[in-house]
Amino acid sequence: MVDEAVYLQYLSGLLAGDRTRCMETVSLLLEKGTKPEHLYTVFQRALYSIGELWEQNRISVAVEHLATAITETLLAAVYPIILSGRSKIDKKVIVSCSVNEYHQVGARMVADIMESHGWDAWFLGANTPAEDLLLLIQEKKPDMLALSISIYFNMASLGKLIQIVRSNYPGLSIIVGGQAFRWGEADVIKPFGNVTYFPSLEKLIQEIRLKG
């Protein structure tokens, strides 16, 4: 796991919009042998902190967007390491954001983490129309669908999306997560079976390890 002082150093770089400092911290952690999945938990924790600061009006929306853009750059730097270090298994996942959800970095991290554990992951990105998602499910026949949501107001559209997918693919395992769920219980998934909420990347990693 990553040292608290290093995490705070990374967070301050992110808040300052200092891409170079963040990249240096990540490079140093990689040199020390930190696993990409542990780095990803740092990225998630820092982005959640920044999200909270934004919600509390302590930072501007520009700072939040810059932090996201920096994180995406870092993910692009770490991703090749994930690809070269993984052993493929015969499992497929489609990772997507719901309609109107423009925060895709969390979903991207889920896709990368699944790939680091050998899954084949298709990452559809932000604001994916339901029709596009259904087409890809039909084409790829995944073992799992992962849906991410960051803005609480998009919870209803997530519910609708799950309903559409469930009616077309009743047996498909669905997992959900994202910062929007931090406001309360995952009530939106209660009406559906075989839909699991993961509160963090750590929990997801534990589950993937457990089920192989």
Partner 1 sequence: MTDRGLQATAWSYIYENAPLLFLHIDSRGKVIAVNRFTEERISGDWKKRELNEIILSFSGALDLEKLRGKPDSIHLMHVATKSNLPETFRVMFFPLEDDTLIFGSLDADETAHLRREMIELNNQLSVLTRELQKKNHELEDLNRLKNQFLGMAAHDLRKPVSAILNYAEFLMDEARSLLNKEHFGFLKTIHDSTALMRDVIDDFLDISMIESGCFEIGLSFADIMEPVEKCVDLNRLSAQKKGIALIVISDDKIPALMMDSVKIEQVLNNLISNAIEHSPPDSGVEIRLSIKQECAVVSVADTGPGIAPAERDRLFAPFTKGTARKSPGVKSTGLGLAISKKIVEAHGGRIWIEEDNEKGAVFAFSLPIKHLQKGGWK
Q: Which residues make up the interface to partner 1 (CB under 8 A)?
A: 65, 69, 72, 75-76, 79-80, 83-84, 102, 104-105, 108, 111, 123-127
Pair 21, 57: CB distance under 8 Å: no
- Cα torsion angle, 50, 61, 107, 22, sign: negative
Query: If you compute the radius of gyration of the chain from its CA atoms, what whole number of angstroms results?
Result: 17
By C-beta, is 102 or 153 nearer to partner 1? 102
Dig out the tokens for 25 from the structure.
């911290």
Residue 23 class from Cβ within 10 Å (0-12 exposed, 13-18 middle, 19+ buried)?
A: middle
Pair 77, 11: CB distance under 8 Å: no
Residue 165: CB minimum distance to partner 1, A: 20
Residue 83: CB minimum distance to partner 1, A: 4
By C-beta, is 15 or 121 nearer to partner 1? 121
By C-beta, is 8 or 89 nearer to partner 1? 89
Query: DSSP class of residue 198?
Result: -
By C-beta, is 9 or 118 nearer to partner 1? 118
Residue 82: CB minimum distance to partner 1, A: 9
Residue 107: CB minimum distance to partner 1, A: 10
